[in-house]
Amino acid sequence: MLATRVFRLVGNRALSTSICLRGGHGVAKVEDYTLPAYFDRRESPLPDIKFVQQLSPEQKSLKEKEKGSWAALSKEEKIALYRISFKESFAEMNKGTGEWKSVVAGIFFFIGFTGLVVLWQRKYVYGDVPHTFDPEYKQKEVQRMLDMRINPVEGFSAKWDYENNAWKK
Amino acid sequence: MSLPKPAMRGLLAKRLRFHLPIAFGLSLIAAAAFKFTVTEPRKQAYADFYKHYDSTKEFNAMREAGVFESVRPTGK
């Protein structure tokens, strides 16, 4: 008997909190989340309950009219009946949010911020580069590579003209 | 409400019939392009380099530049 009482309340969210303790044990309070819920989801198009639970008097009379021939319903009435059963149409629930713009903006912002951090680091954190980066030292390195004939076929030394001691034009 | 029945079978086969020839063709083109832009010029470059290569002359030039440890430059 208690079970049928609960079943009668399925789909009627307004009464979900009205059950209270009775006598020694009573009926457990039926939580909202345990009842069937309404949701707009593309993959399951027909939710467990209608969207509007408490119908206004016009909506009630519309529901009565729905029991007759549907050809007699006007366009606005059909739309009103749809909105009783569903919250958002498929077009409304599927439309994009434009969230990607915020995401891209955040990406650019933090990349820029990282650039500032890197600049600060180069100035205040890093020490001098080794002496091997001096131009004179680099020149001696290049000369030694040419002397050793590094990649003489297609690479480094291939671009040096050994007869005229200059880079090939 | 009489829509035509959609294709229920052979979907992968149909896709492969379309895409496999294209895949093969593009792969062959990629291989041919690589062969004729990279490997053939490279083979030619090596052939040209060694056609008139005097190894003794190159060795002596490197020796004079002082890059070897086994032989010092002449005149030391």
Considering only CB atoms, which residues of chain A are within 8 Å of chain B? 144, 147-149, 152-154, 158, 162
**Position A102 pLDDT exceeds 90:** yes
A153/B49 touch (CB, cutoff 8 Å), yes or no: yes
Res. A83: pLDDT tops 80: yes
pLDDT digits (tens, 9 = 90+) for B5-56: 999 999 999 999 999 999 999 999 999 999 999 999 999 999 999 999 999 9
pLDDT digits (tens, 9 = 90+) for A131-158: 999 999 999 999 999 999 999 999 999 9
Asked whether residue B26 is domain-assigned, the answer is yes
* Residue written as token pair 């006007």: A74
Q: Is the pLDDT of residue A11 over 80?
A: no
The answer to the question of residue B25 being in a domain is yes
CA–CA separation, A135 and A142 (whole Å) = 11
Cα–Cα distance measured from residue B47 to residue B41, given in angstroms and rounded to the nearest whole number: 10
ipTM reported for the complex, 2 dp? 0.76
Assigned domain for B27 exists: yes
Asked whether A145 and A138 are in contact (CB, 8 A), the reply is no
Question: Which pLDDT band holds residue A15 (cuts at 50, 70, 90)?
Answer: very low
Confidence of residue A14 (pLDDT cuts 50, 70, 90): very low
**pLDDT at position A23:** 61
pLDDT mean over A54-69: 91
Q: Does B58 touch chain A (CB under 8 A)?
A: yes
- Report if residue B71 sits inside a domain: no
B47 in a structural domain: yes
Instruction: Tally Cβ neighbours within 10 Å of residue A80.
Output: 14
- How many Cβ pairs within 8 Å bridge chains A and B? 19
Is the CB of residue B21 less than 8 Å away from at least one CB of chain A?
Answer: no
Q: Please report the pLDDT score of residue B72 as a whole number.
A: 92
Determine, yes or no, domain membership for B35.
Answer: yes
List the domain range (segments joined by +) for residue B23: 11-65
> What is the total count of domains within chain B?
1
Is the predicted pLDDT of residue A21 greater than 80, yes or no? no
Neighbours of A103 (CB within 10 A): 9
B1 belongs to a structural domain: no
Spatial distance between the Cα atoms of B52 and B40, rounded to a whole number of angstroms? 20
Nearest CA to A38 out of A93, A115, A96, A1 is that of A93
**Is residue B58 in some structural domain?**
yes
